[in-house]
Chain A
Amino acid sequence: MDHRWPAGSRIGVGMHRDSVTAALVAEGSQLGRNDLPLDSTWQELEGRLAIQLRQLGSRARTPVESVAWELSDLLTPLAEASPVAALRMLPRAPVSDALAGQPSPLLHTLVGHRANVRGGHDLFGFELAPPDVTGAVAVARAAAEAGYPALAITASGAMGCPEHEQLAAEAILDAVPGLRLCLSHEVGGLGVLQREAAAVLTLALQPRIGELIGACERATASGAPAATAWFVAGDGGRLSAERLRTFPASALGSGGAAALLGAAVLAEQPDASVVLADGDSYGLGYVRSGLPYASSDVMEVDRMRLAIPQAVISPVAVPDVGQAGVLADGTGPALVVGLRSDDIAAARSFSERSTSETRLVCDADVVAVGSAVTEPSAWLDLVVTADNPEELERVRGTLADRACTLLASSGARPGTERIVSSTVSPLSFLRSGSYRVVLRASGSIGGAP
């Protein structure tokens, strides 16, 4: 139990659909909280948010070092995001309609214009077909002429070798300046459809997130002048405004991740299992050493799995006798919380009916509290080859350095970077020595945690 929550004064803000809750947290304790209804224009709201931050900051013993905004509720419904165009670079174009598009109706809707050109590599970065850059430019021109301001480019094998995506992007930007692009290797992960889905959502959400981020930054600058505005990510990490503007899909699901953390903070349990009551359903997640248990590719949007890290929150039924074994994490009682204030009754009901030992946490907005204690994070999810254990360790070390560099560029204070999880899975039915490596790094914005 030697985990220490961040020492500096921080504010977390949970932006719910109809209300905004802000919490001041320092050294794992909530020092203040206030709420606002979300019932006015953004221009009016900015001023009221600034006042809210100023009031909270006046209760802090030290200047507020950061304000972390949790925006995921405001990114939905995703169907209202702006449609974009999509380009796949594959050795052969799909001939089946079912394989040409996305299986998810939502993503199908968000891709207004779609085309394929030749190109692509295998998992290990070997070229399977030369890139049709001319064709890619023609697709981009057609997309722009059809009124689509953004194009997602996804090449097979781009995580092994991003060259085809980059060549296409360079040529497209020369020919169609102003077209917004997202290259799938920038969002990362394995699977052409999964990366394409993440790239499409990234582009589709950019216009909406840009407005939200601007409002949050202005409110922060006005209400907490010494603080920096940050944004909560779906894995329970935090992102800079610049990074979220570029990769807005990273914030999907961030409310659940922040709630897990908030419950752990309020219960003073840096290792805990947490049941989240959310409307008429319940989810179970875990916090370990002060971080939500997360995975690089569990995010599902409309039954499509995305290559975007997210806290793992599994559905759990209303408790019965058979549920007892599921809740216990072996590290103490399961915490039960409501995701929003109107979910607290459901949380209480769960706790009362559970046959496992549970502890109800209902005296605060867990999303706002959890947002305050988030820290920057970075992930790598790659396929590598290594002929022997020594080579695998070398590769792993190189990737760990890369993850820490990514983390530093995400705003972690130098010297605080650490690898919090590193999994190496031998890949089935590939040649011996093929591994999937998933690394998660975390750091601190305010000195050694």
Chain B
Amino acid sequence: MSRVTQLTAADADAMLLGAEFFGASIAGHHLEHFRSWLREVLLRRGPVPVVPPAELPAETQCAAIGVAGSMIAVVELPPSGDEPQGVAAALENQLDRKLGAVMAMNAATINALLPVIAAAELDLPIVDCDGMGRILPLISQTSYTVAGLPLTPMTATSAVRDQMSVVAEAQRAELLVRAMLNTAGGWLLCGLYPTTARQLVTGAIEGSISRVVRVGRVLAAARDRDHILRGLGSEVGATWLGGGQVVEVGPSGKRGAEPNQPANPTTVVVRERGSSGRVIRIEAQNELLLAVVDGVLVTAVPDLICLLDRNGLRIQGLERTNVGDEVDVLMVPAAPVWHTPAGLALAGPQAFGLPVRHPKEPVE
């Protein structure tokens, strides 16, 4: 796969589309102002180098930048524009060390864009990696955690300019951030996972920023549905699971809310047309967690399940999915780290309270 070596203002459109794809569960929030912001920063500050972890000096101080919280909250309470560099500066103060590069917590939705903005404002490179390869609901559900990298010290800032620092174990930090979100307006921009480039060589999902841009270019150039499906197949190994009309969207009646997960469980049912008439049932809670076709589990988190709006040719998020919509259901395999026993323990179906094994999980 081709590697992107720098990001310029001309990449803003592709960044936004690719970021929306990997944020499949919450796609569809209109983020035009983030595109404008990214473009403005890249025009003003110049291109941002995109560097693989192994090509940085080994002891380069790196940290992830990313939002924890809700996209609807971000849309209702937009950032002011100085949060990315502000949170990075606060983390530098806490670490008493300058950052040498910025990385993504997860290169998806606005969390693919904000690290680029931070890197541009701080005149730093962005590391071509992330910790999820998609969105996962918890800030501790990362390859960084799988690799044993500490989540804290972390800093966070809100839209009100509340500033917070947390030093805690990953699971405690998660709970503290969730508690703070409720009074901070629904989102916090975090600087977290301070580490070195050496650690990222093995602890990160490499190539994530390049992948966002490549997928975005596929979507930007798409003329029709077949073009999109073929492009996503070749760029990220996307598989078409089926497609048809959404016939049910509602609370999942089969399980209770997992107490450590925000939001509520939901079921989406897609019925195919034609003689096959297959039924695709998707279980969701924040994320699209698993897909069952005619009663057979075909894929599950941490693999990425996406709904492609057949008419609008855009990825359609869970919150925008309604009965009657025409969609294709796609699956993108997760990064290899997520199919390891440690990865599946952290982000597999059972981490979401689903009593099933991932199809790739070996039977004991």
Using CB atoms and an 8 Å cutoff, list the residues of chain A in contact with chain B: 90-99, 102-104, 120, 122-123, 126, 128-129, 156-157, 159, 190-194, 284, 286, 288, 293, 295, 303-305, 314-317, 322, 325-326, 328, 330, 383, 389, 423-436
Given A194-B30, A330-B273, check contact A95 B264 (CB 8 Å): no
CA distance in complex: A98, B178 (Å): 29
Query: Is the pair B263, A430 in contact by a Cβ cutoff of 8 Å?
Result: yes
- B251 contacts A426, CB within 8 Å? yes
A429 to B319: give the CA distance in the assembly, Å. 11
Contacts of A431 on B, CB cut-off 8 Å?
Answer: 178, 181-182, 262
Determine if A190 and B76 form an interchain contact, defined as CB atoms under 8 angstroms apart: yes
Chain B, range 317-364, C-beta contacts under 8 Å to A:
317-319, 322-324, 326
Contacts of B183 in A (CB 8 A): 126
7 contacts between A and B (CB under 8 A): A92-B161, A317-B223, A424-B250, A428-B70, A430-B70, A431-B182, A431-B262
Q: Shortest Cβ distance from A313 into chain B, in angstroms?
A: 9
Chain B 61-104 per-residue mask, 1 if CB under 8 angstroms from chain A, else 0: 00000001111110111111110000000000000000000000
B240 part of interface (Cβ distance < 8 Å)? no
A95 touches B82 (CB 8 A): yes
Q: Which residue of B lies closest to A160 (CB)?
A: B76
A99 and B73 CA atoms in complex are apart in Å by 16
A330-B245 in contact given A95-B80, A122-B186, A194-B75 (Cβ < 8 Å): yes
The residues of A that contact B224 with a CB separation of less than 8 Å are 317, 322
In the assembled complex, the Cα of A430 lies from the Cα of B324 at a distance in Å of: 26
Interface string of B283-301 (1 = CB under 8 A from A): 0011100000000000000
Across the interface, A429 reaches (CB within 8 A) one of B69, B82, B273, B274, namely B69
The verdict on B5 contacting chain A, using a C-beta distance below 8 Å, is no
CB <8 Å contact, B161 and A436: no
Residues of A near B257 (CB, < 8 A) are 432
Tell me whether B186 and A423 are in contact (CB under 8 A).
no
* Interface mask (B248-265 → A, CB under 8 Å = 1, otherwise 0): 011100000100011111
Least CB separation from B73: chain A residue: A123
A440 to chain B, nearest CB (A): 11
B15 contact set on A, CB distance < 8 A: none
CB within 8 A of B312: which of A91, A315, A434? A315
Number of A-B contacts (CB under 8 A): 184
Could you tell me the distance between the alpha carbons of A439 and B316 in the complex, rounded to whole angstroms?
20
* Inter-subunit contact A432/B160 (CB<8 Å): no
Contact A430 B78, beta carbon cutoff 8 Å:
no
Known: A128-B185, A429-B71. A97 touches B30 (CB 8 A): no
Q: How far is the CA of A96 from the CA of B322 in the complex (A)?
A: 35
Q: Which of B26, B161, B322 contacts A428 (CB 8 A)?
A: B26
**Pick from A93, A128, A326, A427: contact of B319, CB under 8 Å:** A427
Contact with A along B155-174 (1 / 0, CB 8 A): 00001110000000000000
Task: Given A328-B273, A383-B72, decide whether A389 and B251 contact each other with a Cβ distance below 8 A.
Answer: yes
Chain A nearest CB, measured from B44 CB (Å): 9
A235-B158 Cα distance, complex, nearest whole Å: 37
Whether A128 contacts B159 by the Cβ 8 Å rule is: yes
Cα–Cα distance between A305 and B185 once the two chains are bound (Å): 22
Is the pair A96, B81 in contact by a Cβ cutoff of 8 Å? yes
A284, B313: Cα distance in complex, Å: 13
Instruction: Specify which chain A residues have a CB less than 8 angstroms from the CB of B32 in the assembled complex.
Output: 103-104, 193, 303-305
B239 to chain A, nearest CB (A): 18
Which residues of A sit under 8 angstroms from B70, Cβ to Cβ?
123, 427-430, 434
A335 to chain B, nearest CB (A): 16
- The 8 Å CB contact of A284, one of B71, B251, B311, is B311
**B226 interface contact, C-beta 8 A:** yes
Stretch from B34-42, B123-131, B145-153, B202-210 contacting the other chain: B34-42
Closest residue of B by beta carbon distance from A293: B324
What residues on A are CB-neighbors of B263 within 8 Å?
426-430, 432, 434
**Is A97 within 8 A of B159, CB to CB?**
no
Which single member of B37, B77, B225, B261 contacts A157 (CB below 8 Å)?
A: B77
Task: Tell me, rounded to whole Å, the shortest Cβ–Cβ distance linking A86 to chain B.
Answer: 14
Cβ–Cβ contact A97 & B262, under 8 A: no
**Are B264 and A91 closer than 8 Å at their CB atoms?**
no
Query: Of residues 214 to 257 in B, which have CB atoms within 8 Å of A's CB atoms?
Result: 223-226, 243, 245, 249-251, 257
Given A94-B78, A99-B81: A295 in contact with B322 (beta carbons within 8 A): yes
Q: How far is the CA of A433 from the CA of B37 in the complex (A)?
A: 32
> A193 and B33: CB pair below 8 A?
yes
Q: Is B278 an interface residue, CB under 8 A from the partner? A: no
Distance of A102 Cα from B243 Cα, bound (Å): 36
> B108 to nearest A CB, angstroms?
12
Q: Which of chain A's residues have a CB closer than 8 A to the CB of B225?
A: 322
CB–CB B245/A190 < 8 A: no
